Chains A and B, each alone.
Chain A
Amino acid sequence: MTLALSASGAGKKSAHKSKLTSDRIRSAWLFLSPMLITLAVVAGWPLLRTIWLGFTDANLSDLSRTTFIGLENYYVTFDGEAYGLLVDPDWWNAVWNTIWFTVVSVGLETIFGMFIALVLNAEFRGRGFVRAAVLIPWAIPTVVSAQMWGWMLHDQFGVLNEILLTIGLISQPIAWTADPDTAMWAVIMVDVWKTTPFMALLILAGLQMLPGDIYEAARVDGVHPVRVFFKVTLPLIKPALMVAIIFRALDALRIFDLIYVLTSNSADTMSMSVYARQQLVDFQEVGYGSAAATLLFLIVAVMTTITLMAGNVKLSEGPQS
């Protein structure tokens, strides 16, 4: 893509494009076209259709009778009362749930991932085996691991309650996924368990790019290892860390499968995706659900832009004393 764009950019400047250059541009577009067409079909078209449906009163029972209703799915006043997604407390509950989930789970995953990456970066016997073993939670499909945890967290037959009761930490079983106080934490815990290896691997890749000699220089200078971590390692892996965090945050903002399997449609844990699915499928409100999906898309897009900009600013500034 870059090649084609820069070549065409250069071509515009000179009045006469050489045959070689135009040949190159043509073949570049030729090679790109399968990907562009596929993207348009599998990503572009569904996206546009969802956005369009968000402006209609489409219902799953009969999609052929669909009328354009403008912004009514988002906001409308009727007899002096406001209706629509923007004033729906359930929607905003889902938004805050999602953001809370994203911040806490990605935060914990970053910290734990960093620990694991630092351990795996050290030389020890059986390191290859441990590296592979750590990846197992990430390799299990989310639905499977969510179901597995669902059983382990079960209020009557779950192994977690059994263990805690036996060692006397709790006096009666806790309904981890049903209790409003614990449901979100249960979801966060399972997500952290599942995704920390991914984070660890990305950070490990960053750590392995670091030159070894500066650590020897720090040893000769007698700098304390903790200080070396904060003053040398952390600033140097920051670019890799930012990429990992952005990657994970985008993923977390769209969380669906884990929450749906563990807690179904519970309002305590409902994320934006779960809300959109409930409207679309359970309530058959395709128009309203599509509006929610569109808003979700916008929120994720805005947050990505903000994160990228914030990350970039920090990256280019670099640490200054």
Chain B
Amino acid sequence: MADVTLRGVYKDFGSTRVIHGVDLDIKKGEFIVFVGPSGCGKSTLLRLIAGLEDITDGELYIDEALVNQRSPKERKIAMVFQSYALYPHMSVFENMAFGLELSKVSKEEIFKKVAETAEILELTPLLNRKPKQLSGGQRQRVAIGRAIVRNPKVFLFDEPLSNLDAALRVQMRIEIAKLHREMNATMVYVTHDQTEAMTLADRIVVLNAGRVEQVGSPLELYHRPQNAFVAGFIGSPKMNFIKSSVVSLQERGVEVALPGGGTVIASVAADGVATGDQVKVGIRPEHLSVSAEGPMTGVVEVIESLGESHFLYVRDANGTLVTVQGKGDTRLKNGDTIALEVPGSLCHVFRKDDTALPRAFDADIGHHTPAHAASELV
């Protein structure tokens, strides 16, 4: 267990800069998840921490020690790879013991450690098998076991579940969460799957084009995205963005125009906006609902029914396709004209530069945000 600290970390591949000055403090025992679209540099950042890539500029500390120049082994990290990276000619036991054999650990000690770890991960009956005789989930457990036996300061996971099928992914996700709770180890986890990020993370780091967009707890990112990128990236289906303008500044928030002439008062602080400014209104599909008196109208283009819920894809008066998520079934048909209820307390407003106006009301964030923080924002 250790702290990991990044100070102004840059990485260049040739003349291409892929990491643009990342600052990050990872606390002891924390589960940190890096998310972002492909090519955003999340895996590179992990490999920089691992020591598999050289840091071009900046400082990396593990437990207050500067480790820029240290080898992966000296950093005392363990890594679990997307492709498992098991030695194909070695048995499960040998795979787990291989990294231990050279450190001054006795044969009995190695055997004991591997046996214990195998017990935790339910690998004991498989110890003599070769990787190719194992299923994907079992292989990934061996890869995790290989990391555990080394008793590292930091666990690094590079998209460990993306090669597994959906059902197995859920199961392994739960196992990893359990493992983190039991071992209370510092873990850094890279994924492009936001469900994994939301469910596993203590804090999520959203990366975009080599820069940190926002760091925060899953619900913080969901409820208080600092910009349109984070708002669009966190949450599924994606948040709807509606082109709009500020109609008036009110005590309760900012009144913004909706397509088709209606308005809504979004519960946000009017920081740096004035009446008439062009803004973007963000509203999540699960917060929109069909209602006869709604301020926004549109035509249903496509309906997706999932049984427990349904999605309506609605073309609004500006020609933007808006996603609406509803519970259960719907009686609507393609081509129906409907009105949508837009709850102002759940709206996000983004300035022209895509930064978010601070949200004032936190009823749905619950205990995560202290009351005084909310009052400061108004």
Residues of A within 8 A of B (CB): 211, 213-214, 216-224, 227, 231-232, 235-236, 318-319, 321
B102 CB within 8 Å of chain A: yes
A220 and B88 contact, CB distance less than 8 A: no
Of all chain A residues, the one with the shortest Cβ separation from B97 is A321
Q: What does the 1/0 interface line of B265-307 toward A look like (CB < 8 Å)?
A: 0000000000000000000000000000000000000000000
Apart from A217-B87, A221-B99, what are 19 other A-B pairs with CB-CB below 8 Å?
Answer: A213-B81, A213-B84, A213-B85, A217-B79, A219-B52, A219-B72, A220-B50, A220-B51, A220-B52, A220-B72, A220-B77, A220-B78, A222-B102, A222-B103, A224-B102, A227-B102, A231-B98, A235-B89, A321-B94
Residues of B within 8 A of A (CB): 50-52, 71-74, 77-79, 81, 83-90, 94, 98-99, 102-103, 130, 146, 150
Min Cβ gap A231→B in Å is 7
- The CA-CA distance from A224 to B101 in the complex, in Å, is 11
Of all chain B residues, the one with the shortest Cβ separation from A234 is B89
- Which of B73, B83, B84, B94 makes the CB contact (< 8 A) with A221? B73
Min Cβ gap A136→B in Å is 32
When distances are taken between beta carbons in the complex, the residues of chain A under 8 Å from B52 are 216, 219-220
A222 and B71 contact, CB distance less than 8 A: yes
Residue pairs across A and B with Cβ atoms less than 8 A apart, 19 shown, are A213-B85, A217-B85, A217-B146, A218-B98, A219-B51, A220-B72, A220-B79, A220-B99, A221-B73, A221-B99, A222-B71, A222-B73, A231-B98, A232-B87, A232-B89, A236-B88, A318-B89, A318-B130, A319-B90
When distances are taken between beta carbons in the complex, the residues of chain B under 8 Å from A231 are 98
When distances are taken between beta carbons in the complex, the residues of chain B under 8 Å from A211 are 83, 85, 88
Min Cβ gap B259→A in Å is 49
Of all chain B residues, the one with the shortest Cβ separation from A215 is B85
Given known pairs A221-B150, A222-B73, the reply for A319 and B98 (CB within 8 Å) is: no
Min Cβ gap A300→B in Å is 31
When distances are taken between beta carbons in the complex, the residues of chain A under 8 Å from B94 are 321
- The CA-CA distance from A252 to B103 in the complex, in Å, is 44
When distances are taken between beta carbons in the complex, the residues of chain A under 8 Å from B86 are 214, 217
A220 and B73 contact, CB distance less than 8 A: yes
B98 and A214 contact, CB distance less than 8 A: no
Of all chain B residues, the one with the shortest Cβ separation from A318 is B89
When distances are taken between beta carbons in the complex, the residues of chain B under 8 Å from A321 are 94
- Which of B88, B89, B98 makes the CB contact (< 8 A) with A223? B98
A319 and B85 contact, CB distance less than 8 A: no
